[in-house]
Amino acid sequence: MNTFMQKYYQLKVQKTEYVTPTIKTFTFASESEKLPHFGAGSHISLKLPMGKRQYSLINDPLQDESEYTIAVKNVGTEGGGSSFLHHHVKPGETIEVASPENYFQIRTEARRHLFLAAGIGITPFLSMMAFLSHTGQSFDLYYAGSSASECAFYSTIKKRYPDQAHFYFMEREQKEKELQNVLRNQCIGTHIYICGPSAFMDHYITYCKGLGYPDENIHSERFRPSSTIQNPKAFQVTEEQSAKTLYVNSNQSLLEALIDEGITVPYACRMGVCGTCEVEVCNGSVLHNETFLTEEEKKEKMLACVSRGEGAITIKV
């Protein structure tokens, strides 16, 4: 059973706007009801013909209460959500949108916030920077892109945060050198937030860990698991509390198998990004397929929605 029931709203597309040749913003509003408040770093899920797609809200969480805005890069995949939004969704149309969720929250314990963005990965940081700026907290943005014209919200960010925004449009090696230098020179208590293409995120997460940043100071958001298990195999699982043993087929997740068996596991995203479906691993070997849990946590826990056992495992829900 899910931990909460998400409410869906029929929202009207108020306006769309190109902010780079490949990135378009979409603003949604309700004609009949008040929209739920959202926190910095939140995202919404859109029900599209090809399935649910999640996008970060880029509005100011303390000022924009009557609309939700997202920015979508057209990745050009035929039949994909971004291509559908770019080519078929026009002002005046109605889209079903779920109430906002937030798996990428600002950490209140941080002494300083450092945002590392590449490309469309800038989107969650727009609401975060607006919030921190209103509340007078210290932050810096390091934003890598191929050029100013390809860099979404370049002028707005530059104007709004002249002292905190730093842009990197140079060659990749030079970019890496500069960003690594930034990461090497931070005060204790700095929290790093990373968002961008998987390779970018993997690189800087590993780099930060190598520098000794504690796992709990490194935050990232991706709306898909960082890796997918090739040719998933069936495995056996025993759930300790219920003493039930079941088989997880190669084409189903552990979460699905547990729910089918009547074992209640809370869940939300089903993509390995929220941690809601975490279960304890008592015995056996696990193929972890996410970057939500720290390496330490992975020794005794797993996310039932994306990770799999090998052979036979015992878990506790």
Contacting residues toward ligand FES, per CB under 6 A: 267-270, 272-277, 303, 305
The distance in angstroms from the start CA to the end CA of the chain is 13
Give the up-direction half-sphere exposure of residue 265: CA atoms within 13 A in the CB hemisphere. 31
Taken as a whole, the chain contains a residue count of 317
Q: Is 160 exposed, middle or buried (0-12, 13-18, 19+ CB in 10 A)?
A: middle
- Provide, rounded to whole angstroms, the least separation between the CB of residue 134 and ligand FES: 29
Does residue 211 sit in helix, strand or coil? helix
Q: Which is nearer to ligand FES, 151 or 286 (CB)?
A: 286
- Provide, rounded to whole angstroms, the least separation between the CB of residue 293 and ligand FES: 9
Q: Which is nearer to ligand FES, 3 or 155 (CB)?
A: 3
How does DSSP classify residue 133? H
Give the distance from CA 71 to its chain's centroid.
14
* Contact present, 195 and 117 (Cβ < 8 Å): yes
Q: Which is nearer to ligand FES, 19 or 268 (CB)?
A: 268
* Contact present, 29 and 11 (Cβ < 8 Å): yes
Q: Which is nearer to ligand FES, 89 or 303 (CB)?
A: 303
- Provide, rounded to whole angstroms, the least separation between the CB of residue 2 and ligand FES: 9
- Provide, rounded to whole angstroms, the least separation between the CB of residue 133 and ligand FES: 30
Q: Which is nearer to ligand FES, 208 or 274 (CB)?
A: 274
- Provide, rounded to whole angstroms, the least separation between the CB of residue 59 and ligand FES: 24
